[in-house]
Structure 1
């Protein structure tokens, strides 16, 4: 494993914990859309689902979409399109925008 943050999670666990959104999800107040790949090795689905659970427990607004067979960054054109459409719909709803005709 590369030493991304000055060391591995085993060597410097406090740095990883301080920088991980998983441990800060209870502070999220802004509406959040999570678009997740089912085989993401960088941010495993379980971590995203933990964030979703925490936000929902705090009665925050979060939407979660899992894309089967995708990793960290989508590769399938149909999933890229669906993700962009979901993102646009999310913004339209959150900001109260009307869809263009």
Structure 2
């Protein structure tokens, strides 16, 4: 009788462990990012929706040219370019919407 209880207990523990592992695998599969080979090389950091290429295209379409630098900084991109009037500018661009939030002209 004791051997039967011990065997049943082991079976229940094994079943619980297998369920936990299965649940962990299912969860891991839903949160795993796509393989690096399928992601664009200029991918934005986690949490941002727009890539560097998206930002470049939007800034260019807005009339900026000679876009020299695009860097990620605290939820937004910092972009160095020339304005349509030929002035050097530094833009702060929202990483999710692509909206220019702040413009600073340089020398």
TM-score range for the pair, normalised by the shorter chain length: under 0.3
Bigger share in helix: 1
Question: Which is strand-richer, 1 or 2?
Answer: 2
| TM-score (structure 2 length as normaliser) | 0.22
Q: Which has the higher contact order (CA 8 A, sep 6+)?
A: 1
Larger Rg belongs to: 2
TM-score scaled by structure 1? 0.23
